[in-house]
Structure formats: structure tokens, C-alpha cells
Structure 1
Amino acid sequence: ITEDMKNLAYELLKKCAGLPLAIIVLGGLLAVNEWKTIHEKINLHFSDKSDVSKVLALSYDDLPWHLKPCFLYLSSFPEDAEIPATKVLYMWIAEGFVLLNAYDKEREISVEEVAKQFLTELVNRGMVQVRFNLSGKIKSYHLHDLMRDLCVSKALQESFLSILNIQQDNETENCSASMAIKVKSNCKIRRLSLYRNVIPSLKASRRTLVHLRTLMSFGGVEWELKHFQSMFKDYKFLRVLKLENLLDMTENLPKSVGDLVHLRFLSLADSRFNGLPQSMGNLVCMEFLDLLVKSYVKVTMPNVLWKMKRLRYLRLPYKFDIKERFHGGWKKLRLETLKNLRTLRNFSMKECDVNDVGKFTNLQKLTVRDNFGPIELDIFWQLAEFNLKHLRSFSFYFGNFLCSWTECELSKMSIYPHSCKLFISGEIERLPEHKSLPQQLRKLVLHNSRLKEDPMPILEELKNLVSLVLMDAFLGKEMVCSAGGFPQLKHLLFGGLYDLEEWRAAEGAVPHLSQLGISSCPKLRVAPSHVSTYDGRDEIFEEEKKCLILP
């Protein structure tokens, strides 16, 4: 670095007023521009006084055209919200923000990969912050408060988005964390986020919402069936519809949802809809469909998903019945035509045909779930025969807290030859030898196993295991790892091991493990000296949510 560059850096840092966010954003600007150019822009537009808001505004102005709508779209989410990584990418795709050029098509780069590149660039510029999961992959995104203020301000200024929020005295306003602007009655609103109980205002704003493309509903919004019927009738150009966490809605989704023929993204996650209409077969443009309502709700589903041939992401409910239009029809959910699927979650052999999986030639992520007995472990044999060359993530969820497993039953899993993750709930009589478990196992979660023998001598022989979670899985006082054990293990969580007092590791064991997450292990006093411990309650809670599906 030259002396001139040092001087420039000093001058630029003064504009940041010591705010870490501004320094990070400035670093992102300098990474993609000449330092002198940024210095000239700041001096041209800003006064000598430091002005953090203008430094942040410059980061937006410097964005290439294709990233600006992607950034503005993040203003749809509430303050301090954790924005799910996968969902926001598919929202961008549904809106048409992510397009493939000739180079992408020639190299067979998917639209999801391009969307990830867009988000990575926003992260590298310091405009979006990320949170990671146990395996080190990006789990969610969020905006710093100051960056969100900028995002909302620009979105409202450019008529990109409207936010309806009841402030006080039932006054409806466009708002952000630090500003409030009246809704313009003559404005054609294309994207709308609803906070709190704003439904009455929708009816009054019907004329300005006919061109609506995105509608997101967040906490506190009280829906009734008549609201949906009106909405589906009036907003026929919707592409993105997010109706999550609607706990008061225990009706069927109205059949008029089938009129939203342009819909590409629909999420009913964590709501309580107990039935879906036959008319959903009209939604042939659908690309992202999340039907994971509350885990205790059993959904009545029409057998029409096979008509959505453009589907790229599908998450099924944990429990559902198939409603046939005609007697003697298909007894299982038809999925065989969905050859564009990249992600399929909560696939069940009881409600679906496993042979359909072999037809999903573009599948990259598959989650198989069988929580309600009898458990059909023959699926390992069938899946091993399929040639899914694009598959990168394969997860199995088996059992519940009422299940019990024999050594022989668990041995059936050894046939699966590819990389996978395994979640097992229920009491385990005895673990099989490590050779009788999948040899490419990357993650193992044992929940409510209540093992009497130390599981470490067997599990440490799994050479590819990266993540291990033990929740109420062992009743003993001591666990011991031998030299060379767990050669790849990086993540280890103990939860609910109430009698465990010592976990010892010989020299050379767990060489890549630096931290142990602990929750509800009150007697644990001894751990390897090179491994520090931390409070793993949040991570244990997240893992437990995945396993706790009531029969």
C-alpha cells in the first residue's frame, strides 16, 4: 500500500464516524472500485463533516442495476427479521429479478446459482449480514437497522414497495423504523407488506392494488375467510404470496386461490389451513410451494401437484390425506412429472411413490421423513438404485419419541452408499457396528435414544462424520473417544444428558473439533482440554424442532 493510499484511507475513514457498519460498507465499495474514484465521489457529494447516512447511500447508488431491486426487496421484511435464505432467493426469481444470460445457459448455470451470486455480492459489499447453521452454510440474512432505514427509504422513494401498519387510532400509514409517509391513493402499488391488523385498509385500497405482484403478511395480521376470497378475486396479477403464521385460520384455503394463475411463490408455513382446494391444479406457473403448516395439523390435499411442472421447490406437510376427485384414482400423491424440482422436503413413502424420486433428474436436495410407524427402512435399498447425479444434500428423519429401534433395524441403513444426514428419534436398544451404518454419513442426530452403552466407540469410526448431536441419547456417566476417533468431526452438541459427568478424548481424537455445545447437562465436569464449551441451547432447540413431530 502506497503512502497516497494510506492518506486516502484515512480521509475515507473519517467519513465513517467510527461506525463499524459504515466501515464495512466502505470496504465493500473499495473492493469493487478505484479508491480515488470513491474518494472523489464522497468529496463531490458530501460536506467535510462525517455523514454516515451518505456513506451508506453511496453504497446503494454504486450497486449495478440488477442488484438494486434485489436489495430493495429486503425492505419487505420487518425490522430485525431473520430473512430465510432460500425463500428470498425464490422470491427474487418469482419477481423476475434473476434472469439467465447466454453465458449462464451455455454453462448450464441454474437460476438459483445466479440468485446466490447476487446475494453474495450484497454480502461482500457489506449491505447484508448473514447467519450460518451448524454445517457452516448460510441460514438467514438480516439488515442492520441503519441499512434497513436506507432500504425502506429508497423503496418508498422509488414507489417500489408499500408497507401498511396500524400505528394508533387505526391510522394506516406507509412506515419504516424512522419514518411515516401517507399512502397515495393514486399510486399503483406492486408490492405490499402487512404488519398488524391492517385488513380493513385493504378493502379501501382495492383500486390501487389491482396491479399487486407481491403480498406478504407478517405477525399480528388477523385474516378471515372472506378476506381471502376478496383478495384472490381482486389481485389476479400476484406472483408472490406469503401467508405464514396464520394461527387463527383453521378453514380450508378458498378455491378462488386457483384464479391466481400468475402465482409463482406460495408459502403457508406455520399456518393452520386444514385443506387445499382442487383448483390449485390451475397454478401451473408455480415454482416455489411451501405447504408446511403446523406439525399437529393434518391437511387434506388434492392430487393435483403433478400439474405444476415448473416447480423447483416443494415442501410437503408433515401429515396429510389425499383427496381424490374420482373413486378408484391414485392412492398416493402424484409427483412423477415434476422434473424441474431442485428441492423436495418431507417426502414420505406412505403418501408418495418412491419411484417418482428416480425421475427427478435435477434434484439437488431431498428430505425423506417417516415419523409414524411402521417405519419403512426399505427406502434405503430403493434410493440407492437411483442415479441422481445432481443430488448434494440427502436427509433422513425417522421415528418419534414413542418408537423403539433394534440393532437389526438400524443395520438396514448401511446399504445407502452416498453422502447423507440421519435424524433418528426413539429408544435404541443397541447401536450396530459402525460398518452397519451409512459410511458416507455427514451428520447424525440421535434423539431420545436412551442408550445404556457409550456410543462413542462405534460412532468415532464413522470417518466422514462432520456433525454429531446427542439429545437425551445416553444414560451413562462417561463417554470416551480413542486416538484417531472422529477424524472429520467439527460440530458436537450434547443436550439432555442428565447423568453424564465426563467426556474424555485421547490424544489425536477429534482433531478438528474446537467447541462443544452443551444444554441441560448439569453434571458434566470433564471435557478434553483443547475443546472449549458454550451454551448450545438455541442450537439444541432448533435440532429438537426438526425431530419432535407428534404421531
Structure 2
Amino acid sequence: MAEAAILGMIQHLESSYPGRRELESRTKELRGMLDFLSDLKMEERRRPKYLMADLLELAQDVADSRYIIGYWFGTYQNEIKLTKMRIINFGAECKNEKKKKTNKKKKKKKKKNEVVVGLEKDVRKLIDKVLLNDLCTDDTWIIKGMTGIGKTTLARQVYNHKEVVGWFEHRAWVSITSDKSNKEILVDLIQQMMVGSEELIERDFLLEEKDNRSLQKMLGQHLKGKRYLMVFDNMPKGKNLRYILRHIDDIDKDHQDCGSRKLWTSRFSTNIDDCIHNMKALGSDKSWQLFLKTIDKFTSDEHKFTKELERKGREMLKKCGGLPMAIIDVARQKAKQRLSGIEWEQLFDSIDLSESLEKLEPMYDELDEDIKACFLHMSFFKENAIMREEKLEQIWAASGLDALTTLEDRYIGEEGTCYVLLTESIVKAVNETPHQREVKRCRMNPLLHMLSIKKAEEEIGLEIWNSNQKSQPSQNPRHRVIHCGREKFNHSTNQDTKQLISLIFHGGGGYLEDVTPSYWESFELLKILDLEDFGVKTMSESIGTLIELRYLGLRNNYLTRIPRSLGDLENLEVLDIDLNFMVEVPDIIGEMGSLRNLHMSDVIFQHRLEIDTLENLETLTNISIYDWAYEVSGLETLNHLVKLGIEDVDENLDVGKLFASLAKLRSLQHLILRGSRFRSMPCLDEISVLYLLERLRLDGRLDRLPSASNFPGCIRHLILANTCLEEDPMPVLEKLSRLRRLKLRNAFTGREMVIRDKGFPCLRFLIINELWNLRNIQVGRHAMPILGQLEINNCPHLETVPEEIASMTAFEEFKIVTTKHIAAKIRASGLPSNIVEVDIVP
């Protein structure tokens, strides 16, 4: 019956829309999948009947004229792709069915003996702020995090909590796999939600015969006007829950909201507007507590350790990165070994994480190929390192990896590689901001870092050296990371260098102080040389022999001069000499025609810099205005310059002439102006000529701000740092109609800030730091209507939070770092219950 219906739909599409190429390709795919399912043996047909129901629903949707264009047509294409994958995987799943059932039994057994630590606050937050909170306007939430961090455990704790059981009339828990059909999901929901319903007499036959739309209608009618909770565990990438439940949601919209909720666990977030509860790794105390409880459970005995053994145990557990899965794996290993007679003193000397790494491998396997390559190159960084997005993007580019987006694209909201890694729980953003695609800084869990090293050693020829020792010899090393200690390095061991593409140094000491010129000459193919934070004092002129070099990272060292031979590096795209105090730079910058990113600060130039020859330049930070011949440079040639940082902007500068020159930079979107140490910055009224500017940072003393009409009209991000304004900046800033993000740090010396009625119409993020005299923030009616996050740090006299945030429907997150007295006062005042994330320190 379903087969005939699908075939009829295909024929209807072909006759009704001739010449539509996209439809022709999709109907061809439908025919192919239909033929595959039709050819299956009868004993294998139960699951294919569910897949056939999915195909029928897709054909029905696209045959409906409202699905031919717009959002749902794109969704249809995605559903075709996912259904095709489920069909392809069907055979393999049949072979593994027995194995899966065995594993499920094991998992159920484990759940009964599950040890849970550190989820109390998460459980209370989800219950009080999301599930049982009528003021929460979002009915769908994602519990998100990497594999093994406890997403399912948290969801189960919430689902079975007595308050939740008593609150919802109907509950359903559906475990999702990548090959589970939409019909199976609907059947699972109906079987749990409609227990005892008269409609389900002979229900197995009834459900099997119904198509997806009928099932959705049946479920929707049954749940109409009732409060229900649906939990979807382990949602895979690309699974569109909104598509599956859209007819049920349509019925809900037609009736009064009863407080129903949908909660799912996933490694993935697919939409910037998703409401997400991000799982966090356990801290040291909770990790140790989980370790002890697991050992006690496994050995049926209670263990107490000496302070020295506890210290060793905690040190060992650091390698687990706070990941509950890894901590439990290690605890079970150690318990087994202890039961075999090995003493605890020996057991805490080492750790085996191979079992946990194996469980994490699917996270790598499921990445797209281009993202996999980026993940492998993250092995170059130190464990637990805070990684800057711009550095990651530059290293990936220097390695020949295609960027998902350009810097300019990311500034206008396109998704960069770091954001994709964030959505797939590979990295966590530092100072994470909801609903924002930008990831300025991020870090990776230590176990994922180990996995990146393991895979990089297997796939791209990574070699790790710890001083003079190789962790794993490589026959043909292409990338080398050297971790240096205090001991002297034996440079005679420096072999197999001719094929090296990347050379990364971590640590410090005198590693490079006595290298001979021939040392650098041996790296014939080297493209990446990173010495950031390495304590380098001098660089040899022989570094100019690295003619293939594209990335040179010398940030945060003790260099006093840059070798003149760097001018010979014709392929160099990134030169980072930032944070080297008073470093002398010869007249070579203009010779580097391939340069795309130049980072520096506090440099000394012999002559004023002319950069009109650097036609590929995208980023230039931070150059002293007195070292830059901007008035004679032909800036029209810099068509790609997106980000520019200028230092020593003082009252002696003719800013009108400066801004007139900068107006020639057609791609300029991000401008940083830093004042001098001893003088105020001049009046910036003429900055309005930079009308395409979207990001502006003003860092230095200012007597007054430009008027709102004199700010660039496209400003979306604004930072005022150390401006020490005497007048309240809010009456000016609130009129910037496109401003989305505002950060004030030591920006205002007064006691009160006033935001008037309807001020800041587009502001999403407000961050206030180090306003030492601030005592009150007054907010007018309908001001900041879409504010989502307010962060206040080190404002020691600000004792109250604006009451108006209670009426801000989009407000989700409040953070404050203040004194103990004020923190206690704010807690006692009772923050509005619509704020989901509240972080008050101390």
C-alpha cells in the first residue's frame, strides 16, 4: 500500500513539475530507495516498513505545494539524505542486531548500579528553571556535551525525579540512533504516551498500518490540552525533531500552552537559537568523589586513603579531564587491579585511558573530512591550552586546509571552523556566549586532545618529542612538537627534518640559544614554525633560509630585534611578533608580499612603515600611528584589510586626516584605537566616515564620546576600555540602533548610568567591568528588549540588579563577580525565575 502511494507521488511530481532539476534528482533518489526496500526478503520487512512510511511522508510533503519552496523544501532534501543513510545502514544493523541487544542488556545492568556525582545543581536548574517554570517561554531544550560527560545520566535523573513525575500528565523517553526511522520514534511516543487508551486496542497492528501523518495526528489529538514531557536521548547530527513533530506542534499552537516540554541529549547543536544546557566537566573534588564511590561500589568495600595517596590519586585523575566516563573506567581498572593484589601505591603511579579513548573515537569518525583535518592539527597545542580562533585559522590555512569562511565572513556571522567544532562538542568556548557564532578562544578536553595526538600520529605523521625523547618514532615525520624541559637539548638528535612541514615548540629554556646556522637550513619544506611563549631571546639570521615558511609565531618572547633575513621569506603569510617589548624591526615588512596577518606591539621601526605593497594583508595589529606613513601610503591597494589596530592615538594627532585615509579601506570592519600612556585620545567625531565599520574598540582616556550620529552607522560590537569618561556614556550609546554587543571596562568614573525608555533596541550582550564608582543602573521602560546576557565584574559599590530584567523575555544569563556582602544581598533579593543561567561569585 505504502509502495503504491509513494510510486504515485513520484509520478505526480514528475508530471506536475517537468524541468525542475532539483526535483528530478530527488525523485530519482526516491525511486532508488523504493526499489531497494521492495527487493528485501519478506522476513526482513518489519523495519523497512517503517522506513517506507518515512519515504511516504516525504513524498506527501513535497507533493504538497507549500513544501516545494522555502524552508521545508530544504528540510525535505535533508530528510531524503538521512533516510537514504538509514536504508544503507539497514543491512549492517541487521547483522549486529543480536550484539546490540546484548549490549542493551549490559547497559541496563550498568544503569542500576550507576554512580552519580556532581549533578545536583544541574538537576535543580533544569527542574526549577526549565521544566516546572511557567515563565520559561522555550519548550525545547538540549542537554549538550561531549561523549561521556553525563548527558544521559542527567536526563535520567531529571526524568525520574518525583517532582517531574508528579507535574507532567504524560512522559515518554525515546532512545535515538542514527538509523532509527521517524515512524519508530512516533510509535515509541504513542506506546508510552497513550497507555490505556481505547485507541490502542490491538495497537501493534493499528500502529504498523498507519502512515506517519496519521500517527502524528493521533498523538497530537491525544495530547491536546495536556501537559507532557518528551525526552529524546542521544539525538544524532542532522536529525530534525521539529520536522518529525511538526503536526503535533501545530495542534499545540492552536491551544493554550499547558507547559509541555521537550528535552533531548546530544553532542550537537544545529541552530544558533537552540536553548542549550551545556554540560561541564567535573572539578577535582567531584572527580575524586566519583572515583572513590566507583571503587567502593566495585569492591563492595569503603576505602580511605592517606593524604599522600589522595594527592597522587588526584594528580592521576587530572588526565581524565573531569570526564565521568573516563573516571569510572579508571576506577574500575584500579579496583580490579587492587582485587588482584596490587598495592594502591603502585596503582596511582600510572593510568591507562585506552578504553576511554576508544569510546571517544566515534566523535572523530563522525566529523566531516575537512573538519577532521582541522582536528588533527589541534594536536600541535599543549594539553588544556586556551586556543585563539585567529591562530587556529592561520595554522590551518598555512597547512593547506581550506577555510570554511574568511575573516570577513565570520565578522558578518558566517560559521567558522571553530564554531562547527563547538557545535559538535569538540571544543568549549572560553567565556561562552549564547546565540553567537563567534568563538574567540576555546579549549579542548584533555582526552580529546589525546585522541587528536593519537590520530595525528596515525594519519598525518605527527611526532612528539619530550626534550630528547620521542614519544612514538615515526618513519616519515611530517609534523613535530617538541616539549622542552630544563635539561640541555642534544641538537645532534635533530634528524629526519627534510620532510617536516610543522615545527612547534613548547616549554622554554635555552633550547635555541646555541643552535648553529645549519640547524635551520635543514628544514627545507617547513611551513609552520611556532615559538609562542618559548622565552626566545634571539633569532639567527639563518632563519631566512626557510623559504617555504608560511606561519612564524614569535609572540610573547624576549626578542629585541627581528632578523633582517625574514625579508627573504616570500611565502610568509603570518608574522606574529606581538608581546615582545620594544623589539626592533628592520625595513623588511614591505618586502613580504604574501603577508596576510601581521601582529605586533611596542615595536621600533627604523623608518615609518609603508604597507601599500602588502596587497594580501587582512589583519594588521597593533602599529603605532607615528610608525605608519598612512598619509602617503596608497591604501586603496589594501582591498582585503579587515582588522586594523592602531596605537599611540593622542591629542596631537589629526584624526580627520587619519579617518579620511582609513575610509579608503573598502573591507575594513574591525578597528582598534589605543591611546598613549600619558595623553588623552582626541575627539573622534569624524569617525563617522568609516560607515561600514562593524566592530570598534576604544582603549585609552577620552574626554567625551562622539555623538550617536557621528558613530559609524553599522556598529554592532563596541568596547570602551580605560576611557575613564566623566559623563554617563549610555545616553549616547543607547541610540546606536544596530549595537548588539557592548563591553565597558574602566570606561566610566561616575556613580550612576541611565538607560532611557526604548534604549538599545538590538543589544544582546552587556558586559560591565571595573566601574569602580558605579552605584546604580537605571533602566527605562522597554529598554534593551532583546537583552540575553548581563555580566558584571568588579563593580564593588553596585549592590542591586536592575528590576527591569524581570520583564525582559529574552533574558537568559546573569553573571556577577563582586564582594561577599553584595553577592549575599543579590541572592537574598531573589532574582527573577525566568533567568535560566545565574552565576554569582563568590
Q: TM-score, normalised by structure 1?
A: 0.76
Deviations 1:503-524 (A, max 9, x none): 0101111112233222221111
Mapped to 2, the partners of 1:222 and 1:503 lie a distance apart of 53
Mapped to 2, the partners of 1:402 and 1:162 lie a distance apart of 49
SS of the residue corresponding to residue 208 of structure 1 reads coil
Mapped to 2, the partners of 1:67 and 1:136 lie a distance apart of 17
2:576 corresponds to 1:370: no
Mapped to 2, the partners of 1:132 and 1:204 lie a distance apart of 44
Q: 1:86 aligns with which of 378, 382, 390?
A: 390
SS of the residue corresponding to residue 495 of structure 2 reads helix
Of the structure 1 ranges 192-201 and 115-124, higher mean CA displacement relative to structure 2 is found in 115-124
Question: What code does the residue aligned with 1:196 have?
Answer: C
Q: 2:582 aligns with which of 298, 302, 316?
A: 298
Question: What code does the residue aligned with 2:446 have?
Answer: D
SS of the residue corresponding to residue 777 of structure 2 reads strand
Mapped to 2, the partners of 1:411 and 1:151 lie a distance apart of 50
Shift, 1:318, TM fit: 1.8
Aligned to 1:516: 790
Shift, 1:82, TM fit: 2.0
Deviations 1:25-63 (A, max 9, x none): 987994379xxxxxxxxxxxxxxxxx7544432443455
Aligned to 1:313: 597
Q: Percent identity?
A: 26
Shift, 1:399, TM fit: 0.9
Higher Rg: 2
SS of the residue corresponding to residue 382 of structure 1 reads helix
Mapped to 2, the partners of 1:147 and 1:308 lie a distance apart of 37
Shift, 1:485, TM fit: 0.8
CA separation of 1:196/1:348 partners in 2, compared to 1, >3 Å: closer, same or farther? same
Question: What code does the residue aligned with 1:465 have?
Answer: L
Question: What code does the residue aligned with 1:333 have?
Answer: L
Q: Indicate the structure whose relative CO is greater, using CA pairs within 8 Å and at least 6 residues apart.
A: 1
Aligned to 2:377: 73
Aligned to 1:342: 618
2:209 corresponds to 1:209: no
Q: 1:255 aligns with which of 541, 547, 562?
A: 541
2:237 corresponds to 1:31: yes
Deviations 1:445-504 (A, max 9, x none): 333333333222222122222222222333332221111111122222222222221101
SS of the residue corresponding to residue 31 of structure 1 reads coil
Task: In structure 1, list runs of 5 or more residues that go unmatched.
Answer: 34-50, 175-180, 324-330, 538-551
More helix as a share of residues: 2
Deviations 1:217-263 (A, max 9, x none): 1234443432374531322321100011133x333x22111111110
Shift, 1:280, TM fit: 1.1
Deviations 1:328-347 (A, max 9, x none): xxx32232222122222224
Deviations 1:421-455 (A, max 9, x none): 33334444344533343343333333333333322
Shift, 1:275, TM fit: 0.8
Question: What code does the residue aligned with 1:497 have?
Answer: L
CA contact (8 A) 1:514 1:530 kept: no
Mapped to 2, the partners of 1:358 and 1:86 lie a distance apart of 25
- C-alpha RMSD of the superposition: 4.0
Mapped to 2, the partners of 1:120 and 1:404 lie a distance apart of 38
SS of the residue corresponding to residue 162 of structure 1 reads strand
2:438 corresponds to 1:137: yes
Mapped to 2, the partners of 1:255 and 1:199 lie a distance apart of 25
How many residue pairs get matched?
484
CA separation of 1:164/1:430 partners in 2, compared to 1, >3 Å: closer, same or farther? same
CA separation of 1:512/1:58 partners in 2, compared to 1, >3 Å: closer, same or farther? closer
Q: 2:573 aligns with which of 264, 269, 287?
A: 287
CA contact (8 A) 2:766 2:790 kept: yes
2:532 corresponds to 1:244: yes
Mapped to 2, the partners of 1:277 and 1:442 lie a distance apart of 40
CA contact (8 A) 2:488 2:511 kept: no
SS of the residue corresponding to residue 517 of structure 1 reads strand
SS of the residue corresponding to residue 147 of structure 1 reads helix
Question: What code does the residue aligned with 1:75 have?
Answer: S
CA separation of 1:502/1:228 partners in 2, compared to 1, >3 Å: closer, same or farther? farther
How do residues 458-469 of structure 1 correspond to structure 2 at under 5 angstroms? 458-469=732-743
Mapped to 1, the partners of 2:681 and 2:592 lie a distance apart of 38
CA separation of 1:278/1:366 partners in 2, compared to 1, >3 Å: closer, same or farther? same
How do residues 90-101 of structure 1 correspond to structure 2 at under 5 angstroms? 90-98=394-402
Aligned to 2:465: 164
CA separation of 1:453/1:285 partners in 2, compared to 1, >3 Å: closer, same or farther? closer
SS of the residue corresponding to residue 547 of structure 2 reads coil
Mapped to 2, the partners of 1:119 and 1:398 lie a distance apart of 28
Of the structure 1 ranges 427-436 and 498-507, higher mean CA displacement relative to structure 2 is found in 427-436
Q: TM-score, normalised by structure 2?
A: 0.51
Mapped to 2, the partners of 1:401 and 1:322 lie a distance apart of 19
Question: What code does the residue aligned with 2:555 have?
Answer: A
Question: What code does the residue aligned with 1:299 have?
Answer: V
CA separation of 1:260/1:227 partners in 2, compared to 1, >3 Å: closer, same or farther? same
Aligned to 1:267: 553
Task: In structure 2, list runs of 5 or more residues that go unmatched.
Answer: 1-46, 55-85, 112-143, 152-176, 179-233, 240-354, 806-812, 819-842
Mapped to 2, the partners of 1:205 and 1:464 lie a distance apart of 58
Aligned to 2:146: 21
Aligned to 2:729: 455
Aligned to 1:48: none
Question: What code does the residue aligned with 1:164 have?
Answer: W
Shift, 1:159, TM fit: 6.5
SS of the residue corresponding to residue 237 of structure 2 reads helix
Aligned to 2:563: 277
Mapped to 1, the partners of 2:634 and 2:681 lie a distance apart of 28
Mapped to 1, the partners of 2:238 and 2:490 lie a distance apart of 43
